[in-house]
Structure 1
Amino acid sequence: MIKKGKVDKSRCVACGACVKACPIGAVTVWKGRHAVIDENLCIGCGKCENVCPAGSIEIVAREVRQSDAQTLV
């Protein structure tokens, strides 16, 4: 299992707090509309989730697929 951030676009207010909180730059705000998390960069630390005033970000666990496992090696 790996943890990754997921954005509920309908709740996001595009404030940018998550962008500032991300220690590796995995979060951006797309065209001023909503946050986007790059799953290839996200380390699942939860900092974006903790600072989101709208509660639109959730850190979720998911199964590691074979293709993901090869990328991680």
Structure 2
Amino acid sequence: MQLDYIWILLAVVLLIVELWAINVVLRSTGGWETKGLWLIILIFVPLFGLIAWALFGPKREMPEQRKS
């Protein structure tokens, strides 16, 4: 496997994890100020933002799922 393919694979994995983290932030119960700050950090500083969000971000405060 060439080195270029490894970097592409790592970039795709980072993108998928970023999108997942953004989804979790948007669905959290925090205020819009907190959500906006985390979104800015996650979008503009991807790797550091993910690490900071994992360490200091909201701890699974998800709204109740709607019962269908």
TM-score (norm 2): 0.33
Which structure dedicates a bigger proportion of its chain to strand?
Answer: 1
Structure with bigger RCO (C-alpha 8 Å, 6+ apart): 1
Bigger-Rg structure (1/2): 2
